[in-house]
Amino acid sequence: MKLSKTDRQKELTNRLKEEPFVTDETLSEYFNVSIQTIRLDRMELGIPELRRRIKDVATKQHDEIKSLPIEDVIGEIIDIELDKTAISLLDIREEHVFTRNGIARGHYIFAQANSLCVALINDELALTTKSNVQFIKSVKLNERVIAKATVTHKSKHIAKVDVTSSVQGETIFKGQFEMYYASEGEKNG
């Protein structure tokens, strides 16, 4: 059942508040309308396109990161609260996949999670000392990986961080990372 334009735009606004990084393609499938209709709805509502929404959120937070330059992060950090939680996106492109089967190389999925852990630590120096990872499902060309990292414990020089990565809500990777940081004592982000 198709919604009226007014109802669709109201629902579109609500959906983007809940999930701001959903693509126009996904929205067009959800509402059973063309991508052009979604774009016109967004324009009428003053909602920027996905890249702009991501950039707006990320720009506000990049200045907080101390442990590495933002260009060294694999993926795009879209949310970060130092020493607590962080989220990044990685769009799987041609350079990330095996040419034979279009499946993402695991080191990119790991690198996204690992660099997110480094960025999350509120210190000038943060290094991975240990990790325990599990690849659950393969990722394919043109899929978007969302990695979420959470600091679970922090003590003198060591932080433990859990990372879960997913594609369209389905978990594809889990990892526990132990991070060394240089400063003494616990910190409050």
Percent of the chain whose pLDDT exceeds 70: 86
pLDDT tens for 63-118 read 567 666 667 788 988 888 889 999 999 999 999 999 999 999 999 999 999 999 99
Percent of the chain whose pLDDT exceeds 90: 56
CATH 3.10.129.10 domain position(s) in the chain: 62-181
**Does residue 124 register a pLDDT over 90?**
no
Q: What is the mean pLDDT of the chain?
A: 87
Enumerate the β-bridge partners of residue 178.
Answer: 130, 160
d(CA 126, CA 128): 7
What architecture does CATH give domain 62-181? Roll (3.10)
User: What's the pLDDT score for residue 11?
Assistant: 92
CATH 1.10.10.10 domain position(s) in the chain: 5-47
- 44-48, 123-127, 153-157: segment of lowest average pLDDT: 44-48
d(CA 183, CA 180): 9
The strand ranges marked E within the chain are 76-81, 85-91, 126-135, 144-155, 158-167, 170-181
The domain made up of 5-47 has a fold known as: Arc Repressor Mutant, subunit A (1.10.10)
